[in-house]
Each structure stands twice: as C-alpha cells, then as structure tokens.
Amino acid sequence: MKLTIEGIKNTKEWEDKGYSLPQFDRKKVEAATKAEPFWIHFGAGNIFRAFQANVVQELLNRGVLDRGLVVAEGYDYEIIEKMYRPHDNIGALVTLKSSGSVEKTVVASIMESLAADSSNEKDWARLLEIFRNPSLQMVTFTITEKGYLLRNAAGLMMPGVEDDFAAGPVLPKSYIGKVVTLLHERYANGELPIAMVSMDNCSHNGDKLYAAVNEFATEWENRGVCKPGFLDYVNNPSKVSFPWTMIDKITPRPDAKIEKILAEDGIEQLDPVITSKKTYVAPFVNAEECQYLVIEDNFPNGRPELEKAGLYFTDRATVDKVEKMKVCTCLNPLHTFLAVSGCLLGYTLIADEMKDPDLLALVKRLGYDEGLPVVVDPGIIKPRNFIDEVVNIRIPNPFMPDTPQRIACDTSQKLSIRFGETIKGYLARPELNLSNLKVLPLVFALWLRYLTGIGDDGKAFELSPDPLLEDCKKYLNGLELGANSAKAVEAIKPLLTRKDIFGLDLVEIGLAELVEKYFYNLIKAPGAVRDTLHLVATDSSFIVKVNI
C-alpha cells in the first residue's frame, strides 16, 4: 500500500483497513484544475493538508466542486520536492477522536504542487500562468505570522526585501516579494479581481497581509519599477480584497504513534523528512476532529461554496468577535494556564492535565466563570457551546500529542491579549467587579513562578523560548524556594507595572496585590504550587486569608 495514484487504485484493500478514499474522477478534476484554477494556497504545511485540502476533498466527493487545489511553497522548497511530488500530492489524514479512536482518510484533492522559487524556471512560469488566469478566485496563506514581516524585531529589512524593492516585480527573493510579483502579473494582464486571504492564526490577519503587499506596491510605484497604477489596484477593494479570517484546528507534528498505526495497516514509505531548513514533514498528518474557519465574505471574483463543508462566511465585525471569543476567553487563556501549571508540575501532555481535579476545576472557573461574562456573542458560534467543546472534547483529547512546554513558548507575548482583554472588559462594564477575578491573577503569579525555572519538585527545568525571557528572568535571579518570600515579592513588583506584558499596569488597576499574594504562596517551598492550586480550586476565599 502506497500513498500514490497507483497505490490507492486497489480500493478494497484500503477500505478494508478503514480508510476513506477520494470518490471523484481524479484525472478529470486534475485536467479541469490545470485549465481553470480557482484556488491557490501558499504554505504547504500540516494545517493546510489537514484542513483546507480535506474540505475541498469533501466537496469534490459530493460534486459541489469540480476542481481541486494548487499549493505553492515559498520558503522550504524541499517540502514539495521530497514529500508532495514523490506521493503524487496525496497524503493520509488521521483524525484523532476524543473517544480514543482514529478516522483515516486518503486526501487527494491537491492537483498541483509548486515551488514558489523565481529561480525555478518551470514552476515560476506556471505560477505566473496561474495568476494570469481569469478563473482564479482566491489566494490563501498559512505562512505563519512571521511570513508577513518585512522587517525583523530590530527594524532591519528581512533577507531579500530591499533587493526586491529595488528590482521591482522581476525574479523576487523574499516571500512577500514573490506574492506581490505574482499579483502584479495579474494586474498587468487585465487588472483581474482576486481575494488575498490570510488563514494564519493571528489577529486581523488580512490587515497584516495587506500592509506587506501595500508597502511593496508603494515602494515599486515610488521607484518607478512597476506598471503605473499597480498601487491603485492593490487599494481598490472591488479588484483586490484582504479578508479577515479566524482559523482554529490543532495539527501537531506528525506523531510516531500514528506512523506505527499506518505502518501496521501496511502503508509503505512513511518515513518523515527533515528538510535542510529543519521542517519536519511526513506523508501523513494527524489532527484533532474539531475545526473552525470563519471568513469575511469579500471575494471580488466570486468564491466556491465552502460553507457546504462547514466553513463560515460573514462580515468583518463578526470575524473579529469570533476571534476575540477564542483568543481572549474561551480557548487560548485556558491553554496558557495549563502550559505554565503543567511545566511547574512536571506534566508533558496537556491532555493529562485535564485528569487533574485541581487543574480541571480551575480551567472551568477561568473559562466559564471569569471569561464568559465579557464575551460578545458573535451569533454564528455560541460561546458556551464553543467552550463546552474546548473543555470536554478538545483539550482532554488523549490522542493529541500537545505539550505544556510547546504552549509555554512566547508567553510574555500572549498575556496581554489572552488575559489583559478580559480585565479591560471587567473595567469597562459597571455590572462586573474586578474582585471576582481569582483564577486569572493566579495565572499571572504562576507565570512569574515559572520564570524561576524551578519545578514544584524543587528541581530545575528548561524554560521555553520567549523573546522577553532574559529581561523577565532578571527580576528572579538567585531566588531559592522558601529563602525569603517577602523579598522575592518585592523583586517582582516592577514587572507588575509592565503594560507591554500584561496589557495594563496591574498596580494601577489594583490587581497587583492579589498577584503578589499568590506568588508569595507559590514560592514558599517545594510542593507550594500544588498546595496553592488545590486551595484555590477548593476554597475560593483562601487567598484573602494570606498575609505577606
């Protein structure tokens, strides 16, 4: 059994092993796609293969679509060369059910895979051809938030950007330079309309894509290196749109346990590939069963009926409400709490933390009692239903190999959005009282305790990467558990005023004292983290009894 066009022709063999196979005429669909492509996606990673490609397969199976996908990779070309093409762009999707079962699907909706590399004459010529085609309706992206940056944190131009500014739309080197060159090709061939749709998991993602594209178009027009009028084209919503989206689906790195299941079924050549750019890819992807993709309905050249596969199309304001519901209250804050708690308690799997009575109780209080009161109902997805799914299905899923150590990455960058927005909601609404927040300030104290790099067992552990790690750790340098808790509390006071971390000055709004009390308890001795979590989980009045 091989994941190739020839390999899946013995349908009985695959179906007997429990695999769902494509139910459409692939040769016919491939010919139609190459003649009139309607959707090209940049970013050939796991989320695309597990989500967008599977959605298109479902619609092909049902006859809603008659054409498939084209995928382009503009950063790590080896993904195309070493994984997509040897398998005829076919892959296996293993959906990890919360019940402990798996659902296995052979996904064959990708009809063409291309390296977005201007030095690759054949692939680059094909990309230019696709962008000249009036049939193209949407260009989508999962290139990570960093993919839209033209400058690094120090304000210096990313590699290739300045060269691309100077050269214009000719043989670009940078990722966005390639995208804008292709868009310029579409402009030069009739000012054809198109939707440029970021599907990356970042706030107001359409604006980030627009900002990068617009800066390129502005530079090119100012330097006189592009066709006149290109900047107006980019800024004409009836020609080029940049919709906002909210995407939500966990697709961890391909897992060895899943590879073993597929190998035992008889599938050959499953070995993962680690590219020279350290990308880890395999012929299969594993993902959770739950998924959401909410899209601003702004498509100048029309769009496919993706709502028939469960995607949501709505206005920009609703996309924003859904994103805030997820990021600020109903999912991401719960993950961050579990991440810092899990690292301190020695957990290595997020799902296992949901079996911990103390952590489960606190997760529920953080989400239902403290978060939901400030959620603005987006209408298309009910917040309580969403958080029910998060707490009861998604996070406890035993098959999801997600770790607190991974989720703890960049926590200093997450606190202001995941918790600061909730605090602002409480301050803005007179019927809500900041004193009702008990678990949220505990998360801040746990993060400060996490920065010590000392687990609850008294042993050192490795802190996850974070751009402010060294800056924040300096306040806790030399701290020993139980040595002088009051002195340690004094040491962290300057951190509590950092609006860049918490979104507000915690001293100014009166929340710092509670954070300090928690921190005082958390650093008393080995085992203090567990004791504090248990007491807060079982006795909501515990903290007021504490004196520093």
What mean pLDDT is predicted for residues 477-490? 80
| Residues 392-400, mean pLDDT to the nearest whole number | 88
Q: Is the pLDDT of residue 431 over 70?
A: yes
pLDDT value at residue 543: 62
Q: What is the mean pLDDT of residues 464-470?
A: 92
Banded model confidence at residue 540, pLDDT cuts 50, 70, 90: low
pTM: 0.88
Nearest to 66 by CA among 54, 80, 56, 51: 56
What is the structure's pLDDT at 154?
A: 81
The DSSP call for residue 402 is: -
**In this model, does residue 425 exceed pLDDT 70?**
yes
Average pLDDT score over the chain: 94
pLDDT digit string (tens) for 241-250? 999 999 999 8
More confident residue, 488 or 352: 352
DSSP 360-427: HHHHHIIIIIIIGGGPPP-SSS-HHHHHHHIIIIITT-TT----HHHHTTTHHHHHIIIIIHHHHHHH
CB-CB contact of 306 with 60 (8 Å): no
Would the pLDDT of 546 be above 60? Answer: no
Residue 544 pLDDT greater than 90, yes or no: no
As a whole number of angstroms, the distance between CA 507 and CA 491 comes to 14
pLDDT in tens, 131-166: 999 999 999 999 988 899 999 878 899 999 999 999
**Averaged over 241-269, what is the pLDDT?**
92
458: pLDDT confidence band, cut at 50, 70 and 90? very high
Average pLDDT over residues 449-455: 95
Distance of CA 515 to the CA centre of its chain: 29
Task: Note whether 542 and 444 are within 8 A (CB).
Answer: no
Q: Positive or negative CA dihedral for 29, 34, 39, 43?
A: positive
pLDDT the model gives residue 192: 98
pLDDT band per the 50, 70, 90 thresholds, residue 100: confident
344 neighbors 446 (Cβ within 8 angstroms): yes
271 falls in which pLDDT band (50, 70, 90)?
confident
What radius of gyration do the chain's Cα atoms show?
25
